[in-house]
């Protein structure tokens, strides 16, 4: 778990090493900046059917560290290693999403194979504790705690996802809500209240299991921890992007558009996936398909959809990605579950999208179609940006395109009028997305035709008024996204920080 955290958020590495010391098993040789756990060896170095590998392989780091299994895992082929929760595994090499491990049973028998890294935690570390949940927002913590399986007093320890409150937070269930307590760390001591202080997070938890925590009851049972998703299909597929189409079965249709339909499905009747199927395969569509695949291969972040494979040996072409349970954000906001969310939860979702877009921003990538329909919602209301069909990696600050496939109500005026796209045109779109979120999926510019939006915004300098019940600070953020001059708009890093300030820890 801790290793996973440092892969998906290298900004935590300094904090982690300061508290626990550096680890020889973090696989840092395979991790790019800003959360790109691309990996080496078995870490997403897949062959590129259109050219060079998207992620250059690196030699795996040799280690011999003891890790504990947090969940059961059943091997699906001869390269994988089965284990049970609680088993101790010696890590041989740690790189990418599948680690080489050795297991010795009580009879002295030795078995070796590949294991999913996010099913493990360093032995005798805070990550191996059943109450440790890793990097998580307060809204996601509440989503876990309010499950019917968890009684009052159920608790978890997490690392705040809020950028300016880096550190540990203790979240406790209390009458279908959650109370959040910052765990401070000063001069080698941990504490919630100034007194008493402790030498470790574990001691903090153990103390408050027998002493009331502020106005809260005692800490009781750890929150039920759900099994994580695999980060790739298997160690057998990591080095290959192209897979045979007959390995995938289609199940339920999830949605469709002009160019593609999306289905839920399974790989080898075992692993759940999402399958995007192109509706036609003319030269223009194939070019766009290849560009989308290239973008997705290069990007790996907690708030971006993960690409698993492609099938291009015959028409229609497939794009295989992780399956996100609750579907697209637009429809989610309109259904009973989404429409019941409070403003804090809505802003948490917006902050997650801003976090993913800040990652794109630092990697010189633009999305060009940011909207609620292109954000997916998973367990715990984790949001992931999807649909990279219009995305581009740019070498200059501005990308010029005469593309006519323009979602007018979401597109910045300079992109509509002059074909000038940049991270700042994505910021404009984010302002529209923020409007969609706080209105539970309302159509932007209600009553205005698509073709009239550009003139309304540029000639009349019109901006949508504040939605009802929208906090003033959130509306001010929207308006900052809609400034006429692109250079006057905030960056996504700033947007994430401003949304964080609204949320707390």
For this structure, is 217 an active site residue? no
Q: Which of 223, 487, 477, 178 is nearest to 353 (CA)?
A: 477
Residues in Cβ contact with 178 at an 8 Å cutoff, skipping those fewer than 6 apart: 138, 141, 142, 145, 146, 171, 172
For tokens 């935690």, what's the residue?
121
Number of neighbours of residue 397 by Cβ within 10 angstroms = 12
For residue 130, CA distances in Å to 150, 222, 438 come to: 14, 6, 35
Residue pair 46/55 in contact by the 8 Å Cβ criterion:
yes
DSSP string across 42-58: SSS--B-TTSS-SS---
Residue pair 44/237 in contact by the 8 Å Cβ criterion:
no
Q: What is the CA radius of gyration of the chain?
A: 23
Based on DSSP, count helices (H) and strands (E) in the chain, helices before strands.
Answer: 13, 21
For residue 141, CA distances in Å to 173, 295, 413, 431, 434 come to: 9, 31, 39, 26, 22
Classify residue 27 as exposed, middle or buried by CB count within 10 Å of its CB (0-12, 13-18, 19+).
Answer: buried
- Is 276 among the annotated ligand-binding positions? yes
Collapsing DSSP to helix, strand or coil, 256 comes out as strand
Residue pair 368/393 in contact by the 8 Å Cβ criterion:
no
Question: Which residue is catalytic, options 26, 348, 355, 369?
Answer: 369
Ranges assigned E (strand) in 187-317: 189-191, 248-256, 260-267, 271-278, 307-311
Residues constituting the chain: 505
Give the helix/strand (H/E) hosting 120.
strand 120-122
| Active site (catalytic) residues | 369
Residues at the annotated binding site for ATP?
276
Residues at the annotated binding site?
276
């Amino acid at each position: 778990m801790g290793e996973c955290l440092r892969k998906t958020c290298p900004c935590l590495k300094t904090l982690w090493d300061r508290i626990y010391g550096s680890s020889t098993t973090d696989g840092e040789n395979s991790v790019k900046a800003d959360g790109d756990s691309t990996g080496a060896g078995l870490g997403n170095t897949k062959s590129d059917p259109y050219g060079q590998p998207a992620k250059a392989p690196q030699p795996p780091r040799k280690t011999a560290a003891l890790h504990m299994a947090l969940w059961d895992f059943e091997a699906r082929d001869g390269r994988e290693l089965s284990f049970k929760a609680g088993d101790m595994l010696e890590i041989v090499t740690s790189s990418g999403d599948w680690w080489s491990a050795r297991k010795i049973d009580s009879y002295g028998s030795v078995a070796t194979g590949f294991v999913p890294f996010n099913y493990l935690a360093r032995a005798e570390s805070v990550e191996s504790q059943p109450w440790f949940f890793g990097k998580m927002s307060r809204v996601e913590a509440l989503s876990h705690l309010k499950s019917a399986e968890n009684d009052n007093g159920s608790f978890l320890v997490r690392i705040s996802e809020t950028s300016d409150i880096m550190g540990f937070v203790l979240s406790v269930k209390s009458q279908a809500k959650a109370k959040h307590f910052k765990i401070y760390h000063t001069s080698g001591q941990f504490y919630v209240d100034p007194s008493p202080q402790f030498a470790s997070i574990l001691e903090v938890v153990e103390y408050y299991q027998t002493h009331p925590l502020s106005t809260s009851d005692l800490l009781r049972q750890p929150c039920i921890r759900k099994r994580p998703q695999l980060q790739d299909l298997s160690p057998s597929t990591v080095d290959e992007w192209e897979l045979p189409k007959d390995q995938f079965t289609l199940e339920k249709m999830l949605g469709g558009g002009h160019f593609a339909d999306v289905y839920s499905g399974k790989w080898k009747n075992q692993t759940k996936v999402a399958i995007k199927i192109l509706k036609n395969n003319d030269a223009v569509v194939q070019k766009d398909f290849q560009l989308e695949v290239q973008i997705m291969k290069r990007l790996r972040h907690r708030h971006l959809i993960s690409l698993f494979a492609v099938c291009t040996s015959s028409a229609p072409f497939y794009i295989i990605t992780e399956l996100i349970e609750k579907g697209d954000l637009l429809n989610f906001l309109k259904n009973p579950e989404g429409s019941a969310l409070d403003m804090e939860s809505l802003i948490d979702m917006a902050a997650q999208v801003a976090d993913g877009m800040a990652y794109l921003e630092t990697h010189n990538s633009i999305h060009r179609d940011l909207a609620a329909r292109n954000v997916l919602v998973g367990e715990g209301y984790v949001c992931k940006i999807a649909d990279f069909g219009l995305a581009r990696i740019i070498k200059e600050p501005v990308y010029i395109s005469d593309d006519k496939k323009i979602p007018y109500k979401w597109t910045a005026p300079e992109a509509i009028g002059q074909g000038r796209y940049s991270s700042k045109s994505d910021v404009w779109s984010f302002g529209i997305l923020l409007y969609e979120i706080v209105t539970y999926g309302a159509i932007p510019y209600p009553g205005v035709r698509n073709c009239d939006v550009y003139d309304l915004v540029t000639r009349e300098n019109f901006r949508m008024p504040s939605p009802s019940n929208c906090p003033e600070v959130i509306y001010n953020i929207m308006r900052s996204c809609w400034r006429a001059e692109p250079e006057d708009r905030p960056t996504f890093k700033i947007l994430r920080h401003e949304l964080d300030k609204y949320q707390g820890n």
